[in-house]
Amino acid sequence: MSTSGGTKAILAALGANLGIAIAKFVGFIISNSPSMLAESVHSLADTSNQALLLLGGRKSRKKADATHPFGFGRERYVYAFVVSIILFSIGGVFSLYEGIDKIQHPHELENAIVPIVILLVAIGLESFSFRTAIVESNHVRGKQGWVAFIRHSKAPELPVVLLEDFAALIGLVLALTGVGLSVLTGDPIYDAIGTICIGVLLVLVAIVLGIETKSLLVGEGASPADADRIRDAINGHKDVEALIHMKTLYLGPDELLVGAKVAFARTKKLADVAASINALETSIREAVPVARVIYIEPDVYVAKGATPATDAIVIKAAD
């Protein structure tokens, strides 16, 4: 995990959420506001989530062993998935429970100015964390839109922090609105409704995170653009007659496995084929640097009624 990218955003979010969680708990104790309690638990969950992301990054750097010959890169996906579960269970479900309970058993707000001040300060701190995540994401997302970046990013940390911070900001606004309406109307039900809205928001964000990280855990291949670059690198080699088939799989956010069956001339000597394969691996890594684990299986191309060059184009389009 990049120390200048994902880690920087995680540390910013960790520091902001820890301070916010403490302040919100103090505000809840003083005011007895259910929205403040929901936001306190939300910030505490976010703090633990960032700690888990850091732990996953650390564990992913362990060296490969006999039990895990392809290394531990997917640890980052596992911990990102755990984050979505925590956000759903602790953040979302608890907020829904607290909001429903306070509708059934309303409590008057006490010292309402305290939670309002704390929420305003929290919005400022959360905005700083969100801005940091946006700046770091801009370094790696290229021309992708935000939805595409979150859906297709192979490194889970930045999308997770982005969604958490976005949900946190919306949640703070909902809490502030609920507390404000309760103060203006004297009716605590608005604070409880704000708590329920926070719970629904967190559940929805957790579901999105869960879906995206599950896909990474199951195993995703190279993006269409990277797959085309790899095919072009193989088909462009002078000794290759045809790319018969190719498979790719991310072993971790920064490590792509490439397996390909490639046809060489049947008259080539074994030593020449080995040299061509080594050159192919170099070309693939130059085209897609994240392609670190490459297996090339040599074969002889046989096709009736088609030249090797023509069939290579057909295979490239269909793979």
CATH number for the domain that contains residue 165: 1.20.1510.10
Instruction: Assess whether 83 and 166 both reside in one domain.
Output: yes
- Which is nearest to 83 in space by CA: 116, 46, 30? 46
Sheet holding 240-252, edge to edge: 240-252, 255-264, 291-299
> pTM for this structure?
0.74
Tally of domains within the chain:
2
Domain assignment present for residue 96? The answer is: yes
The reported pLDDT for the residue numbered 141 is: 84
14-129-89 Cα angle (round to 5): 55
310 assigned to some structural domain: yes
Q: Are residues 61 and 44 in the same domain?
A: yes
Q: Which parts of the chain register pLDDT below 70?
A: 1-5, 303-319
30 and 177 belong to one structural domain: yes
Q: Is 1 a domain residue?
A: no
Q: Are residues 39 and 120 in the same domain?
A: yes
Is position 68 within any domain? yes
Is the domain of 200 the same as that of 242?
A: no
Same domain, 179 and 272: no
Same domain, 286 and 309: yes
pLDDT in the model for residue 46: 80
Residue range of the domain that includes 37: 6-218
Judgement on whether residues 180 and 144 belong to the same structural domain of the protein: yes
